[in-house]
A = this chain, B = another copy of it.
Amino acid sequence: MPLPRQVFIAVIGAGGVGKAFLHQLSKLASNLSCSPSAPTYLSLILLSTSKKSVHHADYKSLSNWETELANSTTPPLPLPRLAEYLVKAPGKVVLVDNTSNQDVADAYPMFLKHGVSIVTPNKKAFSGSYQLWTDIFAAASNGQGSGGCIFHESSVGAGLPVISTLKELVETGDEVRRIEGVFSGTMSFLFNSFMPVGGGGGRFSDEVKTAKDKGFTEPDPRDDLNGLDVARKLTILARLAGLKVESPTSFPVQSLIPKELESCASGDEFMQKLPEFDGKMDDLKKEADKEGKVVRFVGSVDVAKGEVKVGLEKFDTSHPIAALKGSDNIIAFYTKRYGDNPLIIQGAGAGGEVTAMGVTGDLIKALRLLQ
């Protein structure tokens, strides 16, 4: 029987997803049988937020991260120093980036080249410039490189098996023709409430307010309504399907922010003025209703045509996208093998627990490779 092996875990970000991940990490069997060679012991050696950080120079495990972090007065390590600390660790290291920080994302190629593996829900690493995308996979050992490995299931659809399924379709030689779906929990909730199948629903601005009050939107709802979050997810899927998408702003993205409100100084001012624009959304609703359809905010990739787009579309009430409930996501893969009836994945695509689950699942996959 081979000796047990230790893998060092460093976590950046301790917000909703970060906390849920740390909780899941603490429950992962200390004796993971995920490797053919030996049991694995996980040591949390660094935890960092945007404000402060805790780690020990001798790589001792953080025995009680909540207390240690609360008591810490150390500011977060600058990225080059963080890299230095991780690279010198006496064993394999997995960096868990639970932030949505662009600077951290930009440093992935450097971490990977130095043998540090990465698991993350951070969309910015995979939906920013195409150069960053190629740099990351040129360095990663599960790309073309020989460095650490990288997994990012939760960058689309949280813990739903979206990225892994698309990768498997591609790797096993299927021809992915079209990807279509509802990729935002906020947009899902908004339109399932605004125009439910069977009629009803309030004014659009009221539904935005309800979503905001329930915590389903970003603090400033414009950060959801501008469509950029969905555009980032579509960028990732399109790239995995083989399209060279330059950036999330290089294809048509419909913003639901009225032009006149783009310059509002605050989210509050925006919310105050939004009702003035309900007429346009009402017209759209009536128009769809006349055709026996409903309106949904969707994204799609047409691989053959090389087209990616994000915005409002009308769907028959019997369409799976129309029947979505709550804040669920739905993703349909149309491929050569699956023919007219797509492979569909559906469920909660946002929330700390399910997002962290995708990260924890990725960590297990990374550990299996780190033998």
Contacts and interface: CB of A to CB of B under 8 A. Distances in A.
A338 B348 contact: yes
A168 B172 contact: no
Contact of A318 (B144, B149, B323, B342): B323
A116 interface: no
A369 B142 CA distance: 12
Interface string A329-351: 00000000111111111111000
Interface string A127-157: 0000000000000011110100100000000
Contacts of A323: 318, 320, 323
A258 interface: no
Which of A143, A318, A328, A346: most chain B CB closer than 10 A?
A346
Nearest to A346: B344
Interface in A93-143: 141-143
A357 interface: yes
Contacts of A341: 325-326, 328, 347-348
A103 to B, nearest CB: 26
B346 A343 contact: yes
A141 B36 contact: yes
A36 B173 contact: no
Contacts of A35: 141
Nearest to A356: B172
A28 interface: yes
A217 B332 CA distance: 27
Contacts of A340: 326
A254 to B, nearest CB: 26
A165 B346 CA distance: 12
Interface string A159-172: 11100110011011
Given A341-B328, A347-B344, A361 B168 contact: yes
B354 A347 contact: no
A24 interface: yes
Given A171-B364, A347-B342, A371-B371, A337 B353 contact: yes
* A-B pairs with lowest CB-CB distance, top 4: A36-B141, A343-B347, A344-B346, A172-B360
12 contacts: A24-B173, A161-B161, A173-B360, A320-B323, A323-B323, A326-B341, A337-B348, A337-B353, A338-B347, A338-B348, A341-B348, A368-B368
Given A168-B361, A337-B357, A344-B344, 10 more contacts: A1-B146, A33-B142, A33-B144, A161-B161, A164-B164, A168-B364, A318-B323, A320-B323, A326-B341, A341-B348
